[in-house]
Amino acid sequence: MRIAKILGTLGLVAAMAIGANAAEKKVKWKLAMTWGPTLTPFTTAVENMAKMVETMSGGDFVIRIDAANKHKAPFGVLDMVKLGQYEMAHSASYYWKGKDVNLLPFSTMPFGMTAPEQYAWFYHGGGMELMEKAYAPHNMLSFPGGNTGNQMGGWFRKEIKSLDDLKGLKMRIPGFAGEVLAKLGLTVTNIAPGELYTSLERGTIDALEWVGPGMDIKMGFHKIAPYYYTGWHEPATELQFLVNKKEFDKLSDKNKEILRVAMRLASYDMYIENYHMSTDAWASIATEYPNIKIKTFPKEVLDAMKKANDELLADMAKDQPLLKEILDSQKAYLTKSRAWTEMSDYLYLKDNL
């Protein structure tokens, strides 16, 4: 009896020691999003990723998610991960152009690759290696974090029939695409999301771009702008997971793989979720607002956009060997993969619309 009791006590001690050991090994990370807490499907991608990590690790690896309303620095997340204030972030690489021009091309490029082409470039065409190279000076790793698919060219209050119709037009279109349009004579502005609807309704702006039907529908633009132009500037916008490299290196092999797999799956899954959201939203807009017209820009306009885009990029890459290397790699892969896209999905769709 006594020996059994001792054994029992010692067993308990052993179990407590093991418990303590497990608690020590428990990894707790924080992730900062550029977005607010309800921006579906961007936030879904992050939530799904964190949930997968927690369940697959049996609760040993948990990631707390802070939305922008919590950390108050939507465009500060790069620096916060760099400084180790957050182990991770969820954002988009093209937001960092002003800090480091080499980070621009990893979201999407005007007249660039579609989603499957771009994923093939990332995972088999040298894209991940170039992204690693570009983020190395920032002591960070970057991973695909969810694709929006092809974004629409925007909502316009009047039809664009020629290049002249664009001159002086006031449009909300941020980022590099805005620079391209500015070269065509548009007045490009940025306006906070909450004021967009009123600005468009009152004519403070004549046009704006957001994402696509799945995310646009909540904004209500279809109620006040009858022309919905097809996309040219963001054919496959990939969001990104940013990871502090030092923190990543500290993870066990098992947790590294759990994180890698969860991020990669969350990224593809967001692409499909947004495909579904746009499918559903467009069906409902088209039914309730039958007067909305889907338009493509005239050839003259598209040609001018392409020319402005090429000129801006050539100028930007002039003294930037790494940027040039990335853009050249993308261009070469685009040419090669587009031939396959044309003979597969494109020609199939042409006969089946």
Site for a copy of itself in 20-59 (CB under 8 A): 52, 55-58
Which of 83, 159, 230, 318 binds a copy of itself (CB under 8 A)? It is 230
Tell me, letter by letter, the H, E, C secondary structure of the chain.
CHHHHHHHHHHHHHHHHHHHHHHHHCEEEEEEECCCCCCCCHHHHHHHHHHHHHHHCCCCEEEEEECHHHHCCHHHHHHHHHCCCCCEEEECHHHHCCCCHHHHHHCCCCCCCCHHHHHHHHHHCCHHHHHHHHHHHHCEEEEEEEECCCCCCEEECCCCCCHHHHCCCEEECCHHHHHHHHHCCCEEECCCHHHHHHHHHHCCCCEECCCCHHHHHHHCHHHCCCEEECCCCCCCCEEEEEEEHHHHHHCCHHHHHHHHHHHHHHHHHHHHHHHHHHHHHHHHHHHHCCCCEEECCCHHHHHHHHHHHHHHHHHHHCCCHHHHHHHHHHHHHHHHHHHHHHHHHHHHHHCCC
Cα separations (Å) of 341 from 115, 151, 346, 347?
11, 18, 6, 8
To a copy of itself, the closest distance from the beta carbon of 335 in angstroms equals 9
Q: How far is the CB of 311 from a copy of itself (least distance, A)?
A: 18
Nearer to a copy of itself, 86 or 271 (CB): 271
CB of 241 to a copy of itself, least distance (A): 15
* 101, 120, 312, 322: residue in contact with a copy of itself (rule CB under 8 A): 120
Total of residues contacting a copy of itself (CB under 8 A): 76
The residues pairing with 80 across neighbouring beta strands, listed in sequence order, are: none
The nearer residue to a copy of itself, 92 or 259, going by C-beta atoms, is 259
* 75 near a copy of itself, rule: CB under 8 A: no
Nearer to a copy of itself, 24 or 319 (CB): 24
Interacting residues with a copy of itself between 324 and 353 (CB under 8 A): 333, 336-353
Kindly indicate which of the ranges 78-86, 203-211, 228-236, 320-328 contains the residues binding a copy of itself, using the contact rule CB under 8 A: 228-236
User: What is the pattern of x (binds a copy of itself, CB under 8 A) and - over residues 252-281?
Assistant: -xx--xx--xx-xx--xx-xxx-xx-xxx-
For a copy of itself, give the closer residue by CB, 190 or 335: 335
List the interface residues with a copy of itself, window 197-216 (CB under 8 A): 212-213
| Residue from 36, 74, 116, 174 binding a copy of itself (CB under 8 A) | 116
Give the one residue of 50, 89, 152, 313 binding a copy of itself; rule: CB under 8 A: 152
CB closer to a copy of itself out of 102 and 240: 240
Q: Which of 95, 143, 155, 232 binds a copy of itself (CB under 8 A)?
A: 232
Footprint of a copy of itself on residues 303-322 (CB under 8 A)? none
